[in-house]
Amino acid sequence: MTSKKKRGVVVAVVSTLVASTAILGISSQQAQAAATNAAVAKALNTPTTLTFWSWLPGQQNEVNLFMATYPKIKVKLVNVGSGGTEYNKIKAGLAAKSGLPDVAQVEFQYLPTFKVLGGLANIKPYVASDFLSKFPQWISDQVSDSKGIYAVPQDSGPMGLLYRSDVFTKLGLAAPKTWAEFATDAAKIHSADANQYISNMVMDSGNMNGLYWQAGARPFHMNSATSINIKLNDSATKSVSKFWGDLVAAGNLPVDPYWTSDWNAAFNKGKYLSWPAASWGLGTVTSAAADTSGNWRAAPLPTWSSTPVSGSWGGSTVAVMSTSKNLAAAAALAEFVNTNPTAAFALTQAPTFDFPVMKSVLTSAGFLETAPAFYGGQKVYKSYSAYNNTVGKNYEWSPFQDQVYTLWTNDVLDAILKKGDVSAAVDKWQADTVKYAKDQGYTVTTK
Amino acid sequence: MSKKTFYMTKKSNFLTLIMIVLSTYFIVPLFWVVAASTKNTNDIFSTFGLWFAKSWHLWSNLKAVFTSDNGIYKLWLMNSLIYSISGAVGAALLCTLAGYGFAKYQFTGSKAIFRTVLAAVMIPSAALSIPTFIIFSKLGLVNTRWSVILPSLISPLGVYLMKVYSDTSIPNNMIEAARIDGATEFKIFRTISLRMLMPGFITVLLLSIVGIWNNFFLPLIMLSSTSLQPLTVGLSIWYGRIAGGGSGRDANFQAVVITSAAVSLIPLIIAFLFLQRYWENGLSLGAVKE
Amino acid sequence: MVSMSASSLKSTKRTGLWFVLPFFLLFVVLLIVPLVYSGYISLYKKGLVGGNRYVGLANYITMIHDPQWVSSVGRVFLYFFLQVPIMLFLAVVAALALDSGKLRFPKFFRIAIFIPYAVPAIIGCIIWGYIYGTNYGFLNQVLGYLGIHHINWFSNSTQALGSISAIVTWEFAGYNMIILYAALKGLSTELYEAAAVDGAGALKTAIRIKLPQLYPAIFLTLIFSIIGSFQLFTEPQTLNSQAPTVLNNYFSPNVYAYSVAFQGQQLNYAATISFSLGLIIAFFAIIATLIGRRRGGDSLI
């Protein structure tokens, strides 16, 4: 996304951002505060070219800001594909010890995988001493351990419900507060018009994982570096899986695969009236459903009990690859694009729409007061900030999360789509995951 | 073509109709992509697939194809050309030399070697990709142009075709005559045989160009730098970006991907139309020779 | 036809080797070595934790008890029997039609059917992906005019094989047609003339006289098709997002090997799968060759 036309926009965006942060009282001096460390200062004063893999729309804005601040450093930002495509390239690169970038975007759930593979550099020596305290603890915990810091948090994915308020109102419905209401509304909406559904089936493993998280599932815990506790088949996971399976079996949900052209078009055509989406979904729907602008709103995720709880889906970090020959400069880049106040704020605006993880941005008025016309002027970030405060804590990822997700698709999703025994499928998911973990040499407990 | 005139009496409308139906299947997808490349993303889904939309977006789509990601599409196109041409020229040369050697000379083990090469026709290239990746990564060849070019140089089928072609197109007495005139073996090859082998050479060249141009698996696993990737891998990344696998914020990119797919078809289709006769001549070798 | 003709020039033994050597060296380095290496590492095992260790045939035993591998192999067999006969039938019909001399605009048809072969599989998949879209795809758009709505072309594994077959047939029918057409052009005309004198029509000539002579060429296309269809990869891999549970990570042995290698981080097991796939393909290609030879057809070996 760095066409020349876009670049023009980018320059304009960056300059207004610089102006707006000045208004917010953030001095540009702080931009260089990161370079407290002598080694980093020296590195940033040495002509260097860094390669940075990211699929984040608009990431070039923050990179440009970095290059403007440190003119000796040239950054090549490359989009090698999103999610799994990029991870497979990193894994192939780690196996070959070649072809890796200095810095790469990595989602939270894959940090343990790359840590085990030895792909992440410890950037503790290079970042500001108060680095971890800039983020909420549940975020900083995910990028660090007692020995070091392995990535810079970029954004997070607290979940809410995006919905078409115009159609809901027309049908005399409000946004469902509980999942029970969601199920009742699902039947009403589909019987009112055979071509519309309350939502699509949650076909994406990460999306469903966020809903398991919301319901209280905590499937993984590392007992030690070589021992892992796996408990995917707890009652929360089973009841959430069954809930969605029942909706599909009743014919009240379509089962369109996510992320296809068809799926994008379905938002625009009004086939799905809601989506339990992460904060970055605000951007997804905005670009997919241009014809329905002004009709979407955000609401809290429906709950299982009266207590408001949310889950999280996705959210990224920027990590320095252990193979980088310019660790100090690479760490400075990763830190800058996410924690420099101007850059961190820019991430929350068009075209990126990231949900921030820096406390200072989370509480800044410029962020909270954003009211996109697409969402009818609702201050959607303020809404998502409220959901963010309710995200269930103490969630741990496995060091082979992509395998866990693939097995979920093969076992649980497959059973739901075939209208089979969902509970048995969750048990199979557990068994297959345990088998894989053992095969990789882990000692497995299943408490 | 005299045999044609003999029984080419009356044209059949029925047969023509059958072939019209059959060829529709082959043409429609191509026509669809041409029509879609003139539309914006929204029109792709809301207008009839085989006709043009009211608003014309071909130029803006083309511009986006060549400017997105700093114009990396041009680089991919260039890479595909580099890999196909260097790989195919190398493969065709090696096959011609070897095929000629097998056809015109008998040396110790020549039969066994030829059998081994023939058997290798059966080995699926995909079965070799993963071990080749591991070996290349140990040699530091992964993520270099060589990692794609080197495996492309080996074409057992090409050797077979060139042996058959050498058998049929170069009379042994011509070689004998040249020998009596005192020419060295390599000079005979260079001055006499090579010219006669040219049509076969071009066929193997074309087969290899298509094979390398279309290859996806090998460059997918070998190359991680986007600047080294050929069109096939590059386009698969752009296609994947529509989805966004985990953060689908690029829905408007679809028209660009479709247009880039349409543009990618142009070079090979031109090559096909101009070099048609070589296909038929060359492929008939393997098929008819008894 | 492996045997050297009697007039081969035996006097220049060394020279022949020099001609063959450049190819042969690369052949050994880039084909034999990886093949042997693949067999070698399939005897080892390396996990995310713990080191590399020799495990004998354990990976092979795991593999034959791995339901995902079994299902992937079963699927490519089914795919072979589904796709190849249809593709070769269309290719034979098209080649006979082109050769009959009764067709109007034969040049147009020849190019139209052959041109998809020039389309890289990945691009073919992108195009067909849009054609197969459940809600707004072109095929369902057309069917919608006939009152048939929203067919999911990948609703189950067999249907997905059918949909993929249509893509692969589209890609390769023309290539096979050209091989067969070239073979037809090379046939002797005397038989046709005799048939025409006997008053046989074009259809009769095609079936009774041309088709039997075409047998060796059909056989060659069959061998290529065995090799190609067992290697199914690009289509299910690219279209995976259209039907993640159906076009899953073990849809075909190659897709499974890729997933096992780069997602599952089990390179040794991936090598086991690849190596076995090579053996399976070679086995069936050889069986087919032997059958073909006994029936008097041409053969590679």
Q: For residues B218 and B129, give the distance between their C-alpha atoms in angstroms, rounded to a whole number.
A: 6
Q: Distances in Å between the alpha carbon of B10 and those of A130, B15, C200, C202?
A: 90, 11, 14, 10
Segment B29-52, tens digit of pLDDT: 999 999 999 998 888 888 899 999
Choosing among 3.40.630.30, 3.30.420.340, 3.40.190.10, 3.40.1350.10, the CATH entry for A161-312+393-445 is: 3.40.190.10
For strand A48-53 and strand A103-107, is the pairing parallel, antiparallel, or unpaired? parallel
Q: For residues C134 and C121, give the distance between their C-alpha atoms in angstroms, rounded to a whole number.
A: 21
Q: Which two tokens stand for residue A261?
A: 């052209």
Neighbours of C146 (CB within 10 A): 7
Pick among A82, A407, A412, A439 to test the C interface (most C CBs inside 10 A): A439
CB contact at 8 A, A46 and A329: yes
CB contact at 8 A, A127 and A152: yes
Please report whether residue B195 resides in a domain. yes
Q: Which B residues 26-45 touch C at CB under 8 Å?
A: 26-27, 29-30, 32-33, 36, 44-45
CATH number at residue C282: 1.10.3720.10
Neighbours of B58 (CB within 10 A): 15
With an 8 Å Cβ cutoff, is C59 touching chain B? Answer: no
The pLDDT-based confidence of A140 (bands split at 50, 70, 90) is: very high
Residues A4-156+315-368, CATH architecture: 3-Layer(aba) Sandwich (3.40)
- Greater confidence, A309 or C135? A309
For strand C44-46 and strand C52-54, is the pairing parallel, antiparallel, or unpaired? antiparallel
Average pLDDT, chain C: 87
Rounded to the nearest 5 degrees, what angle is found at the Cα of B94, between the Cα atoms of B91 and B97? Answer: 145
Mean pLDDT of C166-194: 87
Q: Considering Cα of B32, then B36, then B41, then B44, what sign does the dihedral take?
A: negative
Q: For residues A332 and A152, give the distance between their C-alpha atoms in angstroms, rounded to a whole number.
A: 10
Mean pLDDT of A413-430: 97
Please report whether residue B39 resides in a domain. no
Segment A15-70, tens digit of pLDDT: 444 444 444 444 444 444 444 578 899 999 999 999 999 988 889 999 999 999 99
Min mean pLDDT across A13-27, A111-125, B7-21, B145-159 is at A13-27
Q: Which B residues 164-183 touch C at CB under 8 Å?
A: 164, 167, 172, 175-176
What amino acid occupies position B164? Answer: V
- Length of chain A equals 447
Q: For residues A182 and A89, give the distance between their C-alpha atoms in angstroms, rounded to a whole number.
A: 40
Mean pLDDT of B228-254: 74
Provide the terminal-to-terminal Cα distance of chain A, rounded to the nearest Å: 46
Which pLDDT does position C9 carry in this prediction? 46
Interchain contact, A259 vs B68, CB within 8 Å: no
Q: Is A198 helix (H, G, I), strand (E, B) or coil?
A: coil
Please report whether residue C137 resides in a domain. yes
Distance in Å, alpha carbon of B106 to nearest chain C alpha carbon: 6
Q: For residues A71 and A91, give the distance between their C-alpha atoms in angstroms, rounded to a whole number.
A: 32
Q: How big is chain C by its Cα radius of gyration, in Å?
A: 24
Please report whether residue B30 resides in a domain. no
- A220: which strand partners? A230
pLDDT over 50 (residue B245):
no
Provide φ and ψ at C180, rounded to 5°.
Answer: -70, -40
Helix or strand holding residue A220 (H, E):
strand A220-224
* ipTM of this complex prediction, to 2 decimal places: 0.87
Neighbours of C60 (CB within 10 A): 17
Q: For residues A209 and A214, give the distance between their C-alpha atoms in angstroms, rounded to a whole number.
A: 9
The whole-angstrom distance between residue C160's C-alpha and the CA centroid of its chain comes to 17
Which pLDDT does position C3 carry in this prediction? 39
Segment C79-106, tens digit of pLDDT: 999 999 999 999 999 999 998 888 999 9
| Residue from C246, C68, C153 nearest A414 by CA | C246
Selecting from A82, A269, A314 the residue whose C-beta is nearest the C-beta of B241 gives A82
CA neighbours closer than 13 Å in the CB half-sphere of residue B233: 28
CB contact at 8 A, B105 and C13: yes
Q: Check whether the bond before C216 is cis (ω within 30° of 0).
A: no
Neighbours of A129 (CB within 10 A): 9
The whole-angstrom distance between residue A184's C-alpha and the CA centroid of its chain comes to 29
User: In chain A, which residues have their Cβ closer than 8 Å to the Cβ of C243?
Assistant: 257
CATH number at residue B208: 1.10.3720.10
Provide the terminal-to-terminal Cα distance of chain C, rounded to the nearest Å: 8
Max CA-CA distance within chain B?
75
Q: Number of structural domains, chain C?
A: 1
Q: Number of structural domains, chain B?
A: 1
Mean pLDDT of B177-185: 88
Q: Is C99 helix (H, G, I), strand (E, B) or coil?
A: helix
Q: Considering Cα of A259, then A263, then A265, then A268, what sign does the dihedral take?
A: negative
Q: Which two tokens stand for residue B147?
A: 């990692």
Which pLDDT does position C13 carry in this prediction? 66
Q: How big is chain A by its Cα radius of gyration, in Å?
A: 22
Which pLDDT does position A27 carry in this prediction? 43
Q: For residues A68 and C212, give the distance between their C-alpha atoms in angstroms, rounded to a whole number.
A: 75
The whole-angstrom distance between residue C4's C-alpha and the CA centroid of its chain comes to 30
pLDDT over 70 (residue A3):
no
Q: Which two tokens stand for residue C261?
A: 């290698």
Rounded to the nearest 5 degrees, what angle is found at the Cα of A240, between the Cα atoms of A237 and A243? Answer: 145
Segment A56-110, tens digit of pLDDT: 888 999 999 999 999 999 999 988 887 888 898 898 888 878 789 999 999 999 9
Q: For residues C204 and C216, give the distance between their C-alpha atoms in angstroms, rounded to a whole number.
A: 20
Distance in Å, alpha carbon of A30 to nearest chain B alpha carbon: 31
Provide φ and ψ at A441, rounded to 5°.
Answer: 100, 5
Which pLDDT does position B252 carry in this prediction? 66
Q: For residues C167 and A202, give the distance between their C-alpha atoms in angstroms, rounded to a whole number.
A: 29
Total CB pairs under 8 A between chain B and C: 336
**B18, burial (CB in 10 Å: exposed 0-12, middle 13-18, buried 19+):** middle
Please report whether residue C37 resides in a domain. no
- Greater confidence, C59 or A264? C59
pLDDT over 70 (residue A6):
no
Q: How many helices (H) and strands (E) does chain B have?
A: 15, 0
pLDDT over 60 (residue C23):
yes
Please report whether residue C172 resides in a domain. yes
The pLDDT-based confidence of B4 (bands split at 50, 70, 90) is: very low
Segment B220-232, tens digit of pLDDT: 888 888 889 999 9
**Residues 6 or more apart in contact with residue C169 via CB below 8 angstroms:** C83, C86, C87, C90
Which pLDDT does position A43 carry in this prediction? 92
Only one residue has tokens 């997105």, namely B68
- Greater confidence, B12 or A247? A247
Q: Where are the alpha helices (DSSP H) in C186-294?
A: 190-197, 202-204, 211-230, 234-239, 253-258, 267-294
pLDDT over 60 (residue B260):
yes
Neighbours of A171 (CB within 10 A): 14
Selecting from A95, A96, A283 the residue whose C-beta is nearest the C-beta of B249 gives A283
Mean pLDDT of C10-36: 86
The pLDDT-based confidence of A411 (bands split at 50, 70, 90) is: very high
Average pLDDT, chain A: 89
The pLDDT-based confidence of A405 (bands split at 50, 70, 90) is: very high
Q: For residues C55 and A284, give the distance between their C-alpha atoms in angstroms, rounded to a whole number.
A: 48
Interchain contact, B283 vs C179, CB within 8 Å: yes
Q: Which A residues 253-272 touch B at CB under 8 Å?
A: 258-261, 264-265, 268-269
Q: Considering Cα of C40, then C43, then C49, then C50, what sign does the dihedral take?
A: negative
Q: For residues A284 and C48, give the distance between their C-alpha atoms in angstroms, rounded to a whole number.
A: 35
Which pLDDT does position C12 carry in this prediction? 59
CB contact at 8 A, B265 and B33: yes
Per-residue DSSP letter, A158: B
CB contact at 8 A, C80 and C229: yes
Q: Distances in Å between the alpha carbon of B128 and those of B152, C58, C227?
A: 12, 21, 14
Please report whether residue B13 resides in a domain. no
Provide the terminal-to-terminal Cα distance of chain B, rounded to the nearest Å: 22
| Residue from A336, A376, A307 nearest A168 by CA | A376
- Domain limits at B156? 69-288
Segment A351-368, tens digit of pLDDT: 788 899 999 999 999 899
Please report whether residue B100 resides in a domain. yes
Interchain contact, B250 vs A81, CB within 8 Å: no
High-pLDDT (> 70) share of chain B, %: 89
Selecting from B19, B101, B283 the residue whose C-beta is nearest the C-beta of C20 gives B101
Q: Is A275 helix (H, G, I), strand (E, B) or coil?
A: strand
Mean pLDDT of C229-255: 91
Q: For residues C285 and C219, give the distance between their C-alpha atoms in angstroms, rounded to a whole number.
A: 11
Which pLDDT does position A374 carry in this prediction? 94
Selecting from C113, C234, C281 the residue whose C-beta is nearest the C-beta of B124 gives C281
**A356, burial (CB in 10 Å: exposed 0-12, middle 13-18, buried 19+):** buried
With an 8 Å Cβ cutoff, is C197 touching chain B? Answer: no
Which pLDDT does position C296 carry in this prediction? 53
Q: Considering Cα of A32, then A33, then A34, then A39, what sign does the dihedral take?
A: positive
High-pLDDT (> 70) share of chain C, %: 93
Pick among C35, C46, C100, C122 to test the B interface (most B CBs inside 10 A): C122
High-pLDDT (> 70) share of chain A, %: 92
With an 8 Å Cβ cutoff, is A322 touching chain C? Answer: no
Same CATH topology for A4-156+315-368 and A161-312+393-445? Answer: yes
Mark out chain C residues that contact chain A at CB-CB < 8 A: 47-50, 68, 129-130, 133-137, 241-245, 248-250, 259, 262-267
Q: Mean pLDDT highest for which of A340-344, C279-283, C286-290?
A: A340-344
Q: Which A residues 414-433 touch C at CB under 8 Å?
A: 414, 417
Q: Distances in Å between the alpha carbon of A69 and those of A44, A332, B271, C46?
A: 10, 12, 49, 45
Average pLDDT, chain B: 85
Mean pLDDT of A432-439: 95
CB contact at 8 A, B122 and C25: no
Please report whether residue B98 resides in a domain. yes
User: In chain A, which residues have their Cβ closer than 8 Å to the Cβ of C49?
Assistant: 116, 225-226, 440-442
CA dihedral A206, A210, A211, A217 (to 10 degrees): 110
